[in-house]
Amino acid sequence: MSMSDHNDAPSGKTRPTSGTTAPRSTLSRRSILQMAGGAASLAAAAGVAAQPALPGGPPVASTMHVRMVVNGSARQLEVDPRQSLLDVLRETLDLTGTKKGCNQGACGACTVLLNGRRVTSCLTLAVMHDGAEITTIEGLAQGDELHPLQAAFIAHDGFQCGFCTPGQIMSGVACIAEGHATSPEQIQFWMSGNICRCGAYPGIVAAVADAAGRT
Amino acid sequence: MLSFNFEKVRTEQDAIRAAAVGGRYIAGGTTLIDLMREEVERPEHLVDINALPMADIRADGFDLVIGALARMSDVAAHPETKRLEPLVAEALIEGASPQLRNMASTGGNLLQRVRCPYFRMLDAACNKRDPGSGCSAINGLNAGHAILGTSDHCVATHPSDVAVALVALEATMRVKGPDGERTFPVEELFRLPGNAPHLEHTLRPGELIVEIRVPGGPYARQARYLKVRDRASYEFALVSAAVALETAGGTIWQARVAVGGVGTRPWRMRAVEEALRDKPPGRNVFEAAAQLALEGARPLSHNHYKVELLPRTIVRALEMAGDVA
Amino acid sequence: MTTNVIGIPLTRVDGRAKVTGAARYAADFNQHAQLHAVIVGATTGLGRVTALDETSARAMPGVVEVISHLNAPRLPYGPHKSFIDPAVGERLHVLQDDQVRFYGQPVALVVADTLDHAERAANALRISYAAERPVVDTHDPAAQTVEPSGSGAHGDTLRGDADRALAEAPVKVDATYDMARENHNPMEPHAVVAAWDGNRLTLWSKSQFVVNEQAEIAAIFGLPAQNVQVICPFIGGAFGTSLRTWPHVTLAAMAARQVGRPVKLVLTRKQMFFTTGHRPRTLQRVAIGATRDGRITSIVHEGNGETSRYEQFTEALLSATSYMYSCPNVRTRYRLTPLDTGTPNHMRGPGEASGIFALESAIDELSYGLGLDPIELRRRNEPTMDEGADKPFSSRSLMQCYDAGAERFGWARRTPAPRSMRDGRLLVGMGVASATYPVFFGPASARVRLHADGTAAVEVAASDMGPGTYTSMTQVAAETLGIPVEQVRVSIGHSDFPPAPPHGGSMTMASVGSAVRAACLAARDEVTRRAVADQRSPVFGAALDGIEWIGGSLRRLGDSSPGQTYHDVVASSGQPVEVHASNQRDADAASRYSMHSFGAVFAEVAIDPDVGTIRVRRAVGTYGAGRIVNPRLASSQCTGGMIGGIGMALMEQTALDTRDGRPVNAHMADYLMPVNLDIGSLEAHFVDEDDPHVNVLGVKGLGEIALVGMAPAVANAIYHATGIRVRDLPIRIEDILTA
């Protein structure tokens, strides 16, 4: 066979690379034009406008007052209630060490300590945390002295591009504090909420184990 | 995200009063904020209930009682959970990530919305999001979708892990609302999609989940949760099974089996349980019983593999539970 | 004094910045009075925009501007192509017409005072489309296959008569492979902050190629290149997605000029699946014929990659097939299928990662057909030269890699028969595959400044997406200048610096490293010139070639005194030494030798036969990649690439809905990549390889080869564990259950 004739169905994989149930053999260009309406079947029945218009929503107070202790400093903030804790840290307080990797709680790059517990700061609203204590990556070192886990990340090369690193380190600090850094396997399990696309996992595990042994 | 009014309440009464007039409870927020950002959820008034004293975890006799605001991580780590209901602990830590488990509440976990990708996309038809608009998944990419309890209007699975364990263990929930308090089985919280998939649960307007009670039972300690997925963590189940066995003298006295990832709600497998009763535990018995799980299964274009995987998962979970003894 | 810095496992010089949150990525460059822009993507896969109601969006809180094809400035879009752009076709001209070419294509941009306001208005913007049905699946009968019409870089090849030899071969395999589309999904989303000052534009932009982004944006806006500055000191992973300059950069610049304020634009994770390239889905056929004693007599390798309708993206899918094995008859054939999607682009190990999967799967299959150990089969067909190019290899250590890797991995413990190894309930399998990648080299220059305080500043417009450019260049400079690494400061990621080739194709160390070395040597020469001309210097009056450089000092040849430190020379001369030099390579060597890295990748999988879950428990990658500048970083880069290969083998797939071309799993919870718990024990090793031909540093590069070879090793291990041959990626539970 030659590749140009390769029109047979894709190997019966049940989770295909792409597809629908539309029988492939009938998908000629002609039937496609007829299916233009079919394409619209994906869009809401309402028709053309993909996004319903709800301009602005109900009238609300545009900002609310929130007090937080961030990395040991008391902060008074006026925030839009919609603002995530992550956006307040990055855009309002210019603490850009905490990263936005997915904004959907699916990567862990935005991990901070909220009242001592690790959370994904993208999936919580700043207004929910009046009076809270927040620790970000910027608040970990004591002056010039790195936190033991920060030092261990350097020593064990627990990162490459560095973008997930603040989240990994904050998560690792919590992992150790929770008592979950008891073995490499446990560390792997309890660090699986932080994705590293460079694949620095071996170094991350070694760094957390090392720092856990020192603290 | 649309604008909203934000209110933090300090008492149950304030919470219920606010919700009765259209307020939307927010606890951990891990589902709600995510979907608000997509504008799938559009609450006009958020009622933050995190200050309510509903986060206790305690033993009551042989029962485990979990406050609705108790965080997944706290429930999983609690000594009473581990002592009385290890299945609940196991199902909890198999879900989400450590960070999300620190945020998500037990009540919110039960009420989390489906993971169907079309539900999340405003430019795709979805009966759950826009009643009457159609279902994009039925003729779309539906490998992750349900084979049990589906309708012509919706085929999305319920994503919770711990709900599967709670249904298997016949947990009950206590709720409070404008008309007072009531208690009912967790299993009855979940509706089938039928022709109204936008109605997901049986809570009445303004009702607040207060606590979950997991009855202690002779089978509670011989119980395992098996979650099958492509990666080892941080992924929703393709298929999961919560099983609990009471065995004595080489005989299964009673069994509890519920499954996740395959149903439009956490799916109790009573026929499987029945087939296990009074039989000797063993692979052949497990396999024969597990085949009954497929009763009424309706696979879609891309999820036939779940028909194969579901009984295998149940069998393996039963074997694991058998090993606990 | 520090010497021999090249080769030591130095920790990252930018480590402190990265572990403290001080390292600034594009989206971290908040500017005073900046506004936020959000892209509105097409919600149809093909057609045109028929109406767009911007009036109500403009009236929404905080909205400053709404830009669409209706009101966007017509941009010059002057011609511009660098060699990372497809040779055939024309880049997307964003917001210049009403056409929708693929789902998610930008059709409007909302600019507002806050991100929340911009997002809200973007969601509320009402747009109508005349929709047609896109063709987005290579298997769609409406999809047409074309011959690449480019410069022939990946054209058909033939030596001998492969088809006849195949027909006559007593033992053969003939199989097809289907590899899923992948998205790079770096942790850092594409981001840009654009600010104009009159007619000058500054872009803090995620880029693996800042000088090209400068040139491209200058061409698009009709500006002199020097009016555009691109700054990108850190890249949060890219894997190829930031090689090209994508439409969002143009949009941010357009918006910033329109509103007269700095504009920040960050793609959402979902948008990362639309306009920023992807590894194309490939369909391949590999047929191999062999004699009964395992001599390969024929290889036929046909491949098809997807591309867009408006550009022909090609990659080296079949290149390795011509030189991996000794074989008199080889035929390759490469075709493209234009689809209604965005243009693919290079993703880690582009071409080779996909082609080698098919080739090395087929070789493994052949080994079972012959009853030969798969390493022995490769040994019997190891070439002594590149038979495709008819040149000797500059170096090729593949068999040394197999020997060392087999030893480290414990290949001898493997029992040959499929399904013959168990660990309790689990089926265990061991698989192996070869890896290869070319040694590329691009022109680069560097500037070096030597200061009187003894420090050296190195500047080059290179990038660091994670391999450790800052660190490795520091090592090259410290070694060449003979000074401690602490005294070297490397600056990269700025288009004003001397130009570097793209940070991709595993060529940064070879190209930029050579430039840094050349600049440091030039700096030494300048110091020497100043010293011999300085009456106060102990070397005053010496001939230039009568001076030797020991550590950071110079002295007369044969002199045993400590000599004069270079910073003493600089201090006496009263002004810093500043030099600029370009890399050089022996052009003759480049034409005489075939230059590639090679590696052997071993994987052990454990498979639950009941529920079909697959875990890679162990892997060993052994590479012959020339000189290793920093073994610590090299090891990390390789194990990281192996993890990428595990993702390719078992998880990664961008799934398109053929009804409108939308990526359905454009979400990090649905586009699966390995998490920490997925990864077993990984080891990377490097065999000693002294290659004097590749470049002055003797380095070959690692970024790509680290991923190549992992996926076939895993697939081959799965076959060994189960007896199930899966030829489509990713391999998942159902492939085990339903086979």
Q: What is the complex's ipTM, to 2 decimals?
A: 0.97
C430-466 tens-digit pLDDT: 999 999 999 999 999 999 999 999 999 999 999 999 9
CATH 3.40.50.300 matches B5-51: no
Whether residues B3 and A81 touch (CB distance < 8 A) is answered with: yes
In the predicted model, is pLDDT for residue B246 greater than 80?
A: yes
Whether residues B228 and C650 touch (CB distance < 8 A) is answered with: no
User: What CATH number labels B223-324?
Assistant: 3.30.390.50
**Average pLDDT for C591-617:** 97
With CA atoms as reference, the chain C residue closest to B141 would be C657
Asked if B50 reaches chain A (Cβ–Cβ under 8 Å), the answer is yes
Residue C622, token pair as written in the block: 């052994």
Cβ neighbours of residue B173 closer than 8 Å, sequence gap 6 or more? B68, B110, B183, B184, B185, B186, B189, B209, B210, B211, B212, B213
- How far A194 CA sits from the closest chain B CA (Å)? 8
Whether residues A193 and B98 touch (CB distance < 8 A) is answered with: yes
Residue C125 class from Cβ within 10 Å (0-12 exposed, 13-18 middle, 19+ buried)? buried
Question: Do C446 and C315 lie in a common domain?
Answer: no
Return d(Cα B222, Cα B245) in angstroms, integer.
6
Question: Do C673 and C561 lie in a common domain?
Answer: no
Mean pLDDT of chain B: 97
**Average pLDDT for A174-201:** 98
Mutation to test the B interface, candidates A17, A18, A21, A191, most B Cβ within 10 Å: A21
Run of H or E residues at C494: none
- C552 pLDDT band (50/70/90 cuts)? confident
- How far C179 CA sits from the closest chain A CA (Å)? 8
- C590 pLDDT band (50/70/90 cuts)? confident
C214-258 tens-digit pLDDT: 999 999 999 999 999 999 999 999 999 999 999 999 999 999 999
Whether residues C643 and A201 touch (CB distance < 8 A) is answered with: yes
With CA atoms as reference, the chain A residue closest to B101 would be A119
Question: Do C425 and C448 lie in a common domain?
Answer: no
A89-120 tens-digit pLDDT: 999 999 999 999 999 999 999 999 999 999 99
- How far C243 CA sits from the closest chain A CA (Å)? 16
Peptide bond into C730 cis (omega under 30): yes
One-letter amino acid at A27 equals L
Question: Do C35 and C89 lie in a common domain?
Answer: yes
Residues forming CATH 3.30.390.50 domain(s) in chain B: 223-324
pLDDT at residue C2, rounded to an integer: 43
Whether residues C131 and A40 touch (CB distance < 8 A) is answered with: yes
Considering C459, C548, C704, C734, which one is annotated as catalytic? C704
Residue C626, token pair as written in the block: 């020339």
Which of B121, B230, B313 shows the shortest C-beta gap to C672? B230
- How far B302 CA sits from the closest chain A CA (Å)? 5
pLDDT at residue A57, rounded to an integer: 40
CB atoms within 10 A of CB A183: 12
Residues of B in contact with C651 (CB under 8 A): 230-231
| Contact assessment for residue C106 and residue C68, using Cβ atoms and an 8 Å cutoff | no
Which of B3, B28, B124 shows the shortest C-beta gap to A42? B124
The larger pLDDT score, comparing residue C83 to residue B45, is at: B45
pLDDT at residue A49, rounded to an integer: 35
Return d(Cα C528, Cα C554) in angstroms, integer.
7
Which of A1, A13, A54 shows the shortest C-beta gap to C285? A1
Asked if C670 reaches chain B (Cβ–Cβ under 8 Å), the answer is yes
Mutation to test the B interface, candidates A119, A164, A188, A196, most B Cβ within 10 Å: A119
Residues of A in contact with B96 (CB under 8 A): 193
Return d(Cα B288, Cα B310) in angstroms, integer.
13
Residues forming CATH 3.30.43.10 domain(s) in chain B: 5-51
Which of A6, A96, A198 shows the shortest C-beta gap to C466? A198
Return d(Cα B284, Cα B274) in angstroms, integer.
15
Whether residues A3 and C284 touch (CB distance < 8 A) is answered with: yes
**Average pLDDT for C695-712:** 97
pLDDT at residue A214, rounded to an integer: 83
Q: Would you call C704 a catalytic residue per the annotation?
A: yes
Whether residues B139 and A22 touch (CB distance < 8 A) is answered with: yes
Question: Do C50 and C126 lie in a common domain?
Answer: yes
Which of C559, C584, C609 delimits the end of a domain?
A: C584
- How far B83 CA sits from the closest chain C CA (Å)? 26
3-state SS, residue C300 = strand
Asked if C120 reaches chain B (Cβ–Cβ under 8 Å), the answer is yes
Task: Tell me which residue of B126, B122, B157 sits closest to B300, measured CA to CA.
Answer: B157
- Against chain C, the chains showing at least 3 CB pairs within 8 Å are A, B
Whether residues B235 and C738 touch (CB distance < 8 A) is answered with: no
Where do the structural domains in chain A lie, given as residue ranges? Answer: 64-139, 148-214
Residue-number span of the structural domain to which C383 is assigned: 282-440+590-737
**Average pLDDT for C531-547:** 94
Residues of B in contact with A171 (CB under 8 A): 98-99
pLDDT at residue C585, rounded to an integer: 87
C54-67 tens-digit pLDDT: 999 999 999 999 99
Residues of C in contact with B305 (CB under 8 A): 733-734, 737-738
> Which CATH number is correct for A148-214, 1.10.150.120, 3.90.1150.10, 3.40.630.20, 3.65.10.10?
1.10.150.120
Return d(Cα C71, Cα C57) in angstroms, integer.
14
Which of C15, C20, C674 shows the shortest C-beta gap to A141? C20
Question: Do C325 and C413 lie in a common domain?
Answer: yes
Question: Do C665 and C727 lie in a common domain?
Answer: yes
**Average pLDDT for B253-273:** 98
Mutation to test the B interface, candidates A42, A79, A169, most B Cβ within 10 Å: A42
Which of C266, C294, C311 delimits the end of a domain?
A: C266
Is residue C178 one of the residues assigned to a domain?
no
- CATH number of residue C546's parent domain: 3.30.365.10
Residues of C in contact with B309 (CB under 8 A): 611-612, 733-734, 737
Task: Look up tokens 């995987």; give the residue.
Answer: B309
- Residue C495 DSSP code: T
pLDDT at residue A41, rounded to an integer: 42
Which of C584, C605, C640 delimits the end of a domain?
A: C584
In the predicted model, is pLDDT for residue A22 greater than 80?
A: no
Mean pLDDT of chain C: 96
Residue B125, token pair as written in the block: 């038809």
CB atoms within 10 A of CB B183: 11
- A62 pLDDT band (50/70/90 cuts)? confident
Strand order in the sheet with C564-565: C547-550, C553-556, C564-565
The CA–CA distances, whole Å, from C4 to A5, C527, C626 equal: 57, 21, 16
Return d(Cα C23, Cα C363) in angstroms, integer.
45
**What is the tally of structural domains in chain C?**
3
Question: Do C710 and C638 lie in a common domain?
Answer: yes
Is residue C138 one of the residues assigned to a domain?
no
How would you classify residue B89: left for phi > 0, otherwise alpha for psi between -120 and 50, otherwise beta? alpha
Alpha-carbon torsion angle C69, C70, C71, C73, nearest 10: 40
In the predicted model, is pLDDT for residue C665 greater than 70?
A: yes
In the predicted model, is pLDDT for residue B106 greater than 80?
A: yes
With CA atoms as reference, the chain C residue closest to B227 would be C611
B109-147 tens-digit pLDDT: 999 999 999 999 999 999 999 999 999 999 999 999 999
Asked if C655 reaches chain B (Cβ–Cβ under 8 Å), the answer is yes
C189-213 tens-digit pLDDT: 999 999 999 999 999 999 999 999 9
Asked if B130 reaches chain A (Cβ–Cβ under 8 Å), the answer is yes
In the predicted model, is pLDDT for residue A215 greater than 80?
A: no
In the predicted model, is pLDDT for residue A30 greater than 60?
A: no
Question: Do C337 and C409 lie in a common domain?
Answer: yes
State the fold for domain A64-139: Ubiquitin-like (UB roll) (3.10.20)
